[in-house]
A and B are shown apart, each in its own frame.
Chain A
Amino acid sequence: MDLTSLSNPLVTLDQLSSSSSQLDGLSTELENSIRFGGVQLTEAAGVLLRLPQEVIAQAVVIFTRFYTGPEGGSFLINPVKDVSAASLYMIAKISAIPQTPRSVLNVYAYLSLTAPKSRMDAPSDRQRPDPESHYLTTGAYLAARTTLLQTEAMILRALSFITKVVVPHHLALTFLQTLGVLPSPPTSKSRALAGRTISHLNTGLFSPQLLYLTHQPTALAVAAIYVAAKEIGVNLPCSEWWEVFDVDREELGFLVVGLGSSRLWAEQESRKWVEGKCPLTVEEIMLEMERGREVQ
């Protein structure tokens, strides 16, 4: 397979060193928290829409790209909810399972009432809430749709129509197969290995280091496999197996640390906003900034 099809455009150093939100006076810490909340929201909406994880992950990357760099969007200008919804809507549109604006907006209406604390809390089929509670009236729907489509157009232009996002999930499973650690029928250990690998990749989506914007999918896949294999105690064939996938030791080392700290950080964030909801609307963010100033 042609390698360019497995790679993503990455961010530049400049884009990492500053952001629109920071220019607007947001602290890095609060910015990271809001991004975390936005990623969580996108995940939760994707789960409710029953989108496959790969599609959700692509939307998360689009969401994250949009807010990155001094020329990206700002959390103080472009509401998290709108950008999250439009990212999901746009990515689903070019996936095998497009969603109507109506489905997407209903889901966001629901989520704005009951923001789940973490994506693990997204309601299962059984607990799905009564749609009456979040069904949008025609007027509200039309207004929301206008915003949705405007935001979609804005994201597309801000990203110069680069809508391609390669996520490493599928790749990681292929690598595991190549490494001969996914026997068929699967063993409980191989199942656990695959599961942990994917779960590390999902955690990486929350990374405050923007791992998905700074590293290619092959590297992410290799790092997730490395961490998962260590955890589960699966021996991978040769000592330098990552070289086979063109990932060097240095990058692998960085990502292993990055994935590990993403997890700690995600747990910490989930705890942090347990009582007060993570600020996501422009108003909430402004309030939070005020509070921050008072504390100082």
Chain B
Amino acid sequence: MASPMLNGSSHSPIGTALVHKNQPSKRSLELLPNGQPRFHGCSSIKRYNIVSKLGEGTFGEVYKAVSLKTNRAVALKKILMHHEKEGFPITALREIKLLKLLSHPNILKLEEVVVERKKEENNRRAILYMVTPYMDHDLSGLLENPAVRFSEPQIKCYMLQLLQGLQFLHASKILHRDMKAANLLINNEGVLQIADFGLARPYDDPAPEPGKGGGEATRDYTTMVVTRWYRPPELLLHLRRYTTAVDMWGVGCVFGEMFKGRPILMGNSDLDQAQKIFALVGSPTEDNMPGWSLLPGCDGVTTFEQKPNALHQAFREQGSSAISLLNELLKLDWRKRINAMDAIKHPYFTQVPLPAKPGDLPRFEDSHELDRRKFRGQKAAPPPAPAGGTVGMGPNGDFTHGVGPPNHHLSGYRGGNGNYPNGQGQYGPRRDHYDGRQQVPPVYDHRNPASHGPPPHRPTWARDVNGLPPGPGLPPRPPGPPPSAVTWGGQGRAPLVREDSRGGQPNGARDTYIPSYAANRENRDRVYRGRDCEQRNDDRGDRGRYDDRREQGPRELGRRRSRSPDIPRDRDRNRETYRR
């Protein structure tokens, strides 16, 4: 057998090959007396009708589909399995776990994970998809639509929802670490949801407190997070003890982007990114960013040209409260950068024009990665009418959206219900607004599975009737080295030592074991890797993430979107790992 991974039979459904290679007599046990497979587990993709592809390339594949059961539109995001050596990708596992945990109107809900069984030659492989409710746009796509210009009440409405979602996330002690317009989804009901938890992780330090920004962290995290254009200065300078404030910087970038219609800080390298930031908000000093000079620096550079804060100038068309909030969000000092709960209370949201109600916002033509190609180069052309026409009219029927003057009159909504904007920053009361439009069911059925969805006899983990769990979805490994810059030990022999002299360095989730234990005692100890790796291990997950992505070469330059930290960083990966 050339490689165990290629053993066809091992990809068949549960039990048939997995366990019974030598015990064919047991096969009947996998079936119930009525011939039904005994395991249920995830349901099959056959319950969905795929409508179209929403995106590819940048981020694996996302499809629009319709549930045959509920007739509702969903998005199916393919879980890429590039690293069959580690099994189910750690990032996907984290993302699924976090999404199942979180239940908030402004956070994308994971409905289920479904499986597609593919027959390839004599291999059966399973591909898994995450199912989320379909959202008509992502913010980046929406902003690229030349027909779209946001009014101030609309911007306020989206910002508030974004902040409510983040406040919940941070209160739940989770770092998102990939805040950017493309990861904010918006539907035609005006609801904004935070998506893409592929880089998210639990935050081990105290949740933010009122008036105290993001607080201080005590633990190191990997700095290889956040898409460059949205990456905060402290990450560019490689602060490892960062806080929830990294997400707030991203909010500032998105805020500015909503005014400008395009990302405001489009650096073409990490250093360029830092320089662009300093050109906009001023260069770091011990005053505006205490401790900055002690940080490792950006690509080895630790001195920057003196620049004043130019934010007022850059956003001079905006009112002073908008600029004030932008200033708070784009603070160099991560300790002083405003947190979500305080930002919600910023006067910007209580001054006229008041935030629009989500339901009163206009509808637009769907905009996603693939759609937006058609907009490219059109931005200057005469804007077509928004697809939704009059559907999204305001209460007075006078809301015309598009490239007209800002619709300040739309702001007839004055928080008359007293709960929007919600000064307390609690999402509880605001639920009313979403009720009926958006369900927020509990993540799990606890004791009473009959209360919704699954029939009572289903195991909690086997709610879906359709498929018998298929064989493990481990695609056969392509011959030759993996696409990363480093070559790891080939299939045929044990991986070579790749640990540095520090010893015990867990190199990603890869096998870095010394094949022979004849060596010294230090090596032996690695058999059972100790807890001392805790911090470094944080990196592993993230590296898994980069690994999950496709090689993205120079094409990036031509693109309008900045990608999540991925391949450009792949190259840095080792250096980074050892830097600590």
Contacts and interface: CB of A to CB of B under 8 A. Distances in A.
Interface of A: 2, 4-5, 7, 9-12, 14-15, 20, 23-24, 48-52, 65, 68-74, 76-79, 82, 89-90, 93-94, 96-103, 106-107, 128, 130-132, 135, 138, 141-143, 145-154, 156-164, 282
B292 to A, nearest CB: 28
A161 B100 contact: yes
Interface in B420-459: 442-447, 449, 456-459
A4 to B, nearest CB: 6
Nearest to B530: A50
A79 B39 CA distance: 16
B469 A154 contact: yes
Nearest to A152: B87
B457 A150 contact: no
A20 B447 contact: no
Nearest to A70: B38
Q: Which of B14, B446, B510 has the most CB of A within 10 A?
A: B14
B528 A48 contact: yes
A157 B445 contact: no
A150 B458 contact: no
Given A78-B15, A98-B509, A158-B41, A107 B528 contact: yes
Contacts of B252: none
Given A103-B528, A106-B527, A159-B41, A71 B103 contact: no
Given A24-B29, A106-B527, A282 B38 contact: no
B41 A12 contact: no
B459 A15 contact: yes
Interface stretch (B348-356, B511-519, B568-576): B511-519
Contacts of B492: 138
A163 B460 contact: no
Contacts of A132: 517-518
Contacts of A99: 529
A100 B509 contact: yes
Contacts, number: 226
A50 B97 contact: no
Contact of B461 (A5, A143, A159): A159
A91 to B, nearest CB: 10
Interface of B: 3-5, 7, 10, 14-15, 18-20, 23, 26, 29-30, 32, 38-42, 84-88, 90, 93-94, 96-97, 100-101, 103, 112-113, 115, 126, 171-172, 204, 442-447, 449, 456-464, 469-474, 491-494, 506, 509-513, 515, 517-518, 524, 527-531, 533-534, 537-538, 540-541
B100 A164 contact: yes
A49 B42 contact: no
A51 B530 CA distance: 8
Closest 8 interchain pairs by CB? Answer: A153-B472, A159-B461, A149-B87, A157-B41, A157-B469, A150-B472, A146-B4, A131-B517
Contacts of A94: 90, 93-94, 97
B18 A150 contact: yes
Nearest to B23: A282
A112 to B, nearest CB: 15
A79 B22 CA distance: 13
Contact of B3 (A52, A89, A96, A142): A142
B456 A12 contact: yes
Given A14-B456, A96-B534, A149-B84, A135 B517 contact: yes
A150 B10 contact: yes
A51 B533 CA distance: 11
A150 B112 contact: no
Contacts of A131: 517, 524, 527
A77 B26 contact: yes
Contacts of B26: 76-77, 282
A55 B510 CA distance: 21
Nearest to B13: A154
A9 B527 contact: no
Contacts of B518: 132
B93 A163 contact: yes
Contacts of B442: 4
B19 A160 contact: no
Contacts of B3: 142
A219 B51 CA distance: 47
A100 B19 contact: no
Contact of B446 (A7, A14, A101): A7
A11 B448 CA distance: 9
A229 B101 CA distance: 33
B528 A12 contact: no
Contacts of B510: 100
21 contacts: A10-B460, A52-B531, A77-B15, A79-B19, A82-B19, A93-B90, A94-B97, A100-B506, A100-B510, A101-B87, A103-B528, A131-B517, A135-B515, A146-B7, A149-B472, A149-B474, A150-B471, A153-B471, A157-B39, A160-B462, A282-B23
Contacts of A101: 85-87, 511
Contacts of B29: 23-24, 74, 76-77
Contacts of B515: 135, 138
A279 to B, nearest CB: 15
A182 B144 CA distance: 58
Contact of B14 (A97, A154, A163, A282): A154
Contacts of A10: 446-447, 460
Contacts of B88: 90, 93, 149, 152-153, 156
B25 to A, nearest CB: 10
A49 B7 CA distance: 30
Given A90-B88, A142-B3, A160 B461 contact: yes
B528 A138 contact: no
Given A71-B40, A106-B527, A158-B39, A152 B472 contact: yes
A106 B524 CA distance: 12
B387 to A, nearest CB: 36
Given A12-B449, A20-B38, A103-B528, A158 B462 contact: yes
A15 B491 CA distance: 42
A286 B90 CA distance: 36
B18 A100 contact: no
A130 B538 CA distance: 30
A101 B538 CA distance: 17
A239 to B, nearest CB: 28
A164 B103 CA distance: 14
Nearest to B446: A10
A211 B111 CA distance: 28
Given A102-B511, A131-B517, A69 B529 contact: no
B84 A9 contact: no
A130 B515 CA distance: 14
A15 to B, nearest CB: 5
B90 A50 contact: no
Given A24-B29, A156-B88, A158-B461, A163 B20 contact: no
A156 B112 CA distance: 12
Contact of B527 (A103, A156, A158): A103
Contact of A164 (B30, B97, B540): B97
